[in-house]
Amino acid sequence: MDSGMIGKIQKAKRYAEQERERFQIESLVVSVDGTNNKHTVTFADGKLSCTCDFYQSREYCSHTMAIEEIMKGMEPL
């Protein structure tokens, strides 16, 4: 591995571990294989949403909660 690549790997680790404030997630689309169907969770305009029926009636579901857990510490939700 060349020194340029080593430097990039070190920089990426520093960003990920110590300088997360450099990143702002503006939008995100995640496909979730649910128990019965595939669902799409989106993050846009600071809000998570899901295509599942439960979310449609409650505006919260296990799929959005799972994404919140995965993203914990990355972006205020």
Instruction: Give per-residue pLDDT as tens, 25-48.
Output: 889 999 999 888 999 999 999 899
Q: Structural domain boundaries of the chain?
A: 3-71
pLDDT band at 77 (very low <50, low <70, confident <90, very high): very low
pLDDT at 76: 53
* Cα distance between residue 62 and residue 42, in whole Å: 14
Q: Which residue has the higher pLDDT, 62 or 1?
A: 62
